[in-house]
Structure 1
Amino acid sequence: MGETMDLQHGSPFMKIPNIVFSKDYLVAAKSNVVIITAGTCQIKGETPLDLVHHNVSMFKLMISNIIQYSPLCKLTVISSPHQT
């Protein structure tokens, strides 16, 4: 949410019409760009492949909901790869 606010404060100086943050997919309706910053953390004892399977399941659900409201958007996924 803090990064969204930073972008909103700087947006008057750039050609970015609207920056929003929400868990509600309808908020992103008719968007040109959607940035996904979600992912699950690897828990102790979980293999990297297990983590990938959890994230893939989550992304399948998220992406199907996003394209329902913004079928022509460009999707960007921001991740922070690290090992526990």
Structure 2
Amino acid sequence: MHSAFSLYWLSQVPQEVKEEGSKTWNKGRISYLRSFNQVIEALRAQFFSDMETFIKARSAELAPGGLLVVLLPVRTHGTHPFESYGANIIDCLVIP
């Protein structure tokens, strides 16, 4: 089984990120690159939930003894999202 470069898309926007005036509100942006840490943490929690769902579903489909290969763009732990090369390209496209 193989999955490449699609898992970083979230299944949904966390409700708290959409609530205007909350500490986690992302001001309607589709990118989190220059967001507050609270926004990043809310999106991270959604990502981990989505990954758990994905892994459970794939484990049910995988043949005994089979392998799952997952390719994801990543950044070093402890770095801010806008410090990655790919994020800077996206930043140019989505933030005026």
TM-score, shorter chain, exceeding 0.5: no
TM-score w.r.t. length of structure 1: 0.44
TM-score w.r.t. length of structure 2: 0.39
